[in-house]
């Protein structure tokens, strides 16, 4: 009976892997067709870009500079930066960049508007990034709202790519974010983000609303305010999913996009414990996800508990299953990298990533059920 249970869980996992692989190749055909259809707009709408930051003195300048370098009419860009009570030099760096941009553009009225908004305590019941967004939206003048984070660098076509991902009946869309690879810890997170961002895109592509990535998303002004905005949405530690789901509930369609134009890069998480807190935050916010998401999470997580048990009962069959899983997973990762215009990881990185996946999945599963507070940006939730 135990063996049959182990086999069932592993077979379910492999079925999901096979489904992902065939969906990836279908997505590539669809994406190639859409790329041929996309044209640069004849009229460029006003866009407002929201950036939340707290203690980001190492990253905020690079983020703003990448936004200033967007391939988009400069006078059509509004950049709103919400300083969430930073205790380091973040605020001064923002002011310095604003002043430099103003000086460089003093003889040119066609320049992006950059505005610093100091985030204040209020009685809204909102916390963290949700509170930042609720205070930034009062200053937004754009027809479209784009959101990214202070530790993210976007590519020059990011705004055009996100705008092109929204059809008339779509209210929200999300691009793809990868981690900047810096040493072994960096490229392990890079592969991890790419792999699960690919899964997220495939679920959305299959007609199931998933979630937006809070550091790489766009929404129509009308869709956002139809929800009442962040000020009216019940607080969630994963504010991106909450907003995404509220927009979808209003009848708007969604889109999750995986191509080089909407690719952005975020900084890696330093340290194993902070990484576990990040994953716990994601899972804690995901409690509102539909039941089928949790079945999927369960299948993914149980594989790394079940397969080692199978190795004890029958090492040959256990190794066969794990090898098959590794091959399917590696093909998927390489395909995702190709869709994003990135060089595929060499085989040795795939092998090390497999050990990383086992360690992180098992540790996250245990850490999630521990009665410890989630720590994020030096705050507890």
pLDDT digits (tens, 9 = 90+) for 241-273: 888 989 999 999 999 999 999 999 999 999 999
Q: Are residues 107 and 62 part of one domain?
A: yes
Q: Are residues 296 and 331 part of one domain?
A: yes
Among the candidates 222, 253, 280, a domain finishes at: 280
Q: Is the pLDDT of residue 103 over 80?
A: no
Q: Are residues 221 and 353 part of one domain?
A: no
Q: What confidence score (pLDDT) does residue 37 get?
A: 46
Q: Is the residue at 379 inside a domain?
A: no
Q: What is the DSSP letter of 109?
A: S
Q: For residue range 61-84, list pLDDT tens digits in order.
A: 999 999 999 999 999 999 999 999
For all residues of the chain together, what is the average pLDDT? 88
pTM exceeds cut of 0.75: yes
Among the candidates 280, 299, 326, a domain finishes at: 280
Q: Are residues 223 and 82 part of one domain?
A: yes
Please give the biggest Cα pair distance in the chain: 78
Q: What confidence score (pLDDT) does residue 223 get?
A: 96
Under a CB-based contact definition with an 8 Å cutoff, are residues 185 and 275 in contact?
no
The C-alpha atoms of residue 350 and residue 337 are separated, in whole angstroms, by 13
Q: Are residues 173 and 297 part of one domain?
A: no
Q: At residue 23, what are phi and psi to the nearest 5 degrees? A: -65, -35
Among the candidates 280, 298, 328, a domain finishes at: 280
Q: What confidence score (pLDDT) does residue 34 get?
A: 54
Q: What confidence score (pLDDT) does residue 216 get?
A: 95
Q: Is the residue at 38 inside a domain?
A: no
What value does the mean pLDDT take over residues 287-314?
A: 85
Q: For residue range 7-40, list pLDDT tens digits in order.
A: 888 989 999 899 888 888 888 777 654 543 455 6
Q: CB-based burial of residue 24 (10 Å sphere; 0-12 exposed, 13-18 middle, 19+ buried)?
A: buried
Q: Are residues 52 and 13 part of one domain?
A: no
Q: Is the residue at 37 inside a domain?
A: no
What is the residue range of 243's domain?
47-280
The C-alpha atoms of residue 194 and residue 258 are separated, in whole angstroms, by 10
Q: Are residues 276 and 299 part of one domain?
A: no
Number of domains in the chain: 2
Q: Is the residue at 160 inside a domain?
A: yes
CA distances from 153 to 28, 61, 63, 68, 350 (A): 25, 10, 5, 11, 25
Q: For residue range 343-379, list pLDDT tens digits in order.
A: 999 999 999 999 999 999 999 999 988 887 877 777 7
What value does the mean pLDDT take over residues 106-112?
A: 57
Q: Are residues 250 and 217 part of one domain?
A: yes
């Amino acid at each position: 009976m135990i063996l049959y249970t182990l086999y069932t869980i592993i077979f379910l996992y492999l079925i999901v892997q096979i489904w992902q692989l065939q969906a990836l190749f279908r997505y590539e055909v669809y994406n190639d067709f859409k790329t041929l259809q996309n044209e640069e707009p004849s009229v460029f709408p006003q866009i407002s870009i929201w950036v939340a930051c707290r203690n980001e003195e190492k990253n905020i300048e690079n983020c703003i500079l990448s936004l200033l370098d967007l391939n988009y009419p400069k006078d059509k860009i509004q950049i709103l930066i919400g300083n969430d009570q930073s205790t380091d030099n973040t605020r001064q760096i923002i002011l310095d960049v604003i002043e430099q941009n103003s000086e460089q553009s003093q003889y040119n009225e066609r320049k992006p508007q950059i505005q610093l908004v100091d985030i204040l305590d209020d009685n809204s019941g909102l916390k963290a990034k949700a509170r930042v967004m609720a205070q930034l939206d009062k200053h937004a003048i754009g027809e479209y709202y784009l959101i990214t984070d202070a530790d993210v660098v976007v590519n020059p076509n990011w705004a055009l790519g996100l705008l092109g991902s929204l059809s008339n009946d779509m209210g929200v869309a999300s691009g793809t974010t990868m981690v900047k690879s810096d040493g072994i810890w960096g490229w392990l997170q890079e592969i991890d983000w790419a792999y699960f961002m690919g899964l997220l895109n495939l679920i959305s592509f299959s007609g199931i609303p998933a979630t937006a990535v809070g550091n790489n998303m766009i929404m129509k002004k009308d869709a956002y305010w139809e929800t009442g905005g962040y000020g009216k949405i019940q607080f969630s530690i994963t504010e991106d999913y909450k907003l995404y789901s509220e927009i979808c509930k209003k009848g708007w369609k969604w889109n999750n996009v995986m191509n080089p134009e909407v690719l952005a890069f975020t900084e890696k998480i330093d340290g194993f414990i902070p990484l576990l807190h990040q994953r716990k935050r994601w899972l804690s916010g995901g409690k509102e996800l539909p039941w089928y998401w949790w079945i999927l999470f369960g299948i993914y997580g149980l594989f790394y508990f079940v397969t080692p048990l199978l190795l004890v009962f029958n090492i040959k069959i256990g190794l066969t299953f794990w090898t098959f899983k590794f091959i399917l997973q590696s093909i998927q990762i390489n395909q995702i990298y190709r869709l994003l215009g990135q060089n595929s990881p060499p085989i040795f990185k795939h092998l090390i990533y497999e050990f990383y996946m086992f360690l992180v999945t098992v540790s996250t599963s245990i850490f999630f059920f521990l009665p410890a507070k989630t720590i994020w940006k030096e705050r507890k939730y």
